[in-house]
Amino acid sequence: MSLFTKRLYVGVEMDSGTIKLAGRHKSVPSAHLDFYEIVDLVKENGLASPHQLDDQHYIQQLRNWVVKYHLKHAQVVAALPSAEAILHAFKVSSLQSESNLVEVIQNELQHLTQKPLDNMRIACQQIEVIGQANHGVWLFAGAVPNSLIERHLRILRESGLQARVIDLNALGLYNAFCHFHTDIEESLVTLVQVEREYSICVVIPHGGPPFFYISSVGGNAITTQIMEEMGVSFSQAETYKSRMYQPEWTNLESFKHSKLAEIFFGFAEKLIMDVKKCIQHVQVCEEIAGVGQIYLTGAGAPLDLLRECFLRLELASQIWNPLDHHDGFHLVSLIGGLVRSD
């Protein structure tokens, strides 16, 4: 059988400056990717900052991929950003009628916000809860602004793609972790995905529902602060930030006492405080004493400095990469979406 006659599943994720693509064929294991690409659209298009990007830059890149990877008939999973979403996991009776279930879901989400849900689209997925026997049904529900969904669908449509599944990247993170960790026995596990615009925190108690939280602290905050406090351009700030990934540079005394170090440690402190609050919330709700293990993933995971900051605050952490190469850190949510396509 020709490679391109097999059913092709493709994940697409767009953020404030990057677009990601990952694809695999149905006949191969879900942990395997036949291809993937991560493109920094700011650099690719020679722009001064992400603010100069518009939808056409995303559309053109997707069109290039449609031709390159023969994606015209691909089954597309779109991973939406979770920053504007309302997220909640809860349990319902398996005997619940469909009409009552809709009302239950709306009520559960409405309790989490003062905003009306009229301009939001609600989506649900049944989830597996680690260590929980099948008594009742666990649901993940997300309310997403209609404008966000419509924009993503339009970009995909104008690129020649149709979304088969729309996921939130926070759910993709959870699905990917559960797929690769089927034997977790720890009382508490925390996932921290550090991205450009924000970070995703998922706290998973053994036998209980996951707790999702979106922290406003993302890697772009470092870039912005470098620009403001050091008076440099976006590209120069990104270059300075890249040095934070280089131990041979961050171990220098000159770095430890620099403005860059001060900016980074301020960022790390805010992020870790958000993570600690999430863990404490679940500890109280589930009556769990231990902190458990923290897994770091996403673009910021390879930062040795970040793990050092967690350790200083007595939080044991390790990096989690679902693939055997560095780019796996950036593809976690897409892998979670492709796993779901099984």
The per-residue pLDDT for range 55-67, each reduced to its tens digit, is 999 999 999 999 9
Q: Which residue has the higher pLDDT, 151 or 311?
A: 151
Task: Let me know: does 11 contact 339? Beta carbons within 8 Å.
Answer: no
- What is the arrangement of strands in the sheet containing 211-215, beginning at the earlier edge strand? 211-215, 199-205, 188-194, 293-298, 317-319
H helix or E strand, kind and range, residue 63? helix 55-68
Give, as one character, the DSSP assignment of residue 86. Answer: E
Q: Which residue has the higher pLDDT, 55 or 179?
A: 55
- Residue bearing tokens 């967690």: 310
Q: How many angstroms separate the CA atoms of 227 and 259, rounded? A: 12
> Is residue 290's pLDDT more than 60?
yes
Q: Write the DSSP string, 35-46.
A: EEEEEEHHHHTT
> Is residue 328's pLDDT more than 60?
yes
142 has which bridge partners?
Answer: 87, 123
> Is residue 4's pLDDT more than 50?
no
- Residue 3 pLDDT level (bands cut at 50, 70, 90): very low
Q: pLDDT value at position 132?
A: 67
> Is residue 267's pLDDT more than 80?
yes
Task: Let me know: does 316 contact 308? Beta carbons within 8 Å.
Answer: no
Q: pLDDT value at position 32?
A: 81
Structure token digits, residue 327: 């780019």
pLDDT tens-digit profile of 65-117?
A: 999 999 999 999 999 999 999 999 988 877 777 778 888 888 889 988 888 88
Q: pLDDT value at position 213?
A: 95
Q: pLDDT value at position 157?
A: 96
What pairing do the DSSP bridges indicate for beta strands 137-145 and 120-126? Answer: antiparallel
Mean pLDDT score across all residues of the chain:
88
**pLDDT (average), residues 226-248:** 91
Supply the angle between the helices 259-286 and 219-230 in degrees, to the nearest 10. Answer: 150
Instruction: Look at residues 221, 231, 82 and name the one whose alpha carbon lies nearest to residue 149.
Output: 82
Lowest mean pLDDT among 86-90, 100-104, 242-246, 310-314: 310-314
**pLDDT (average), residues 336-342:** 79
**pLDDT (average), residues 8-30:** 86
Structure token digits, residue 118: 């009229």
Q: CA 291 from chain center: how many Å?
A: 22
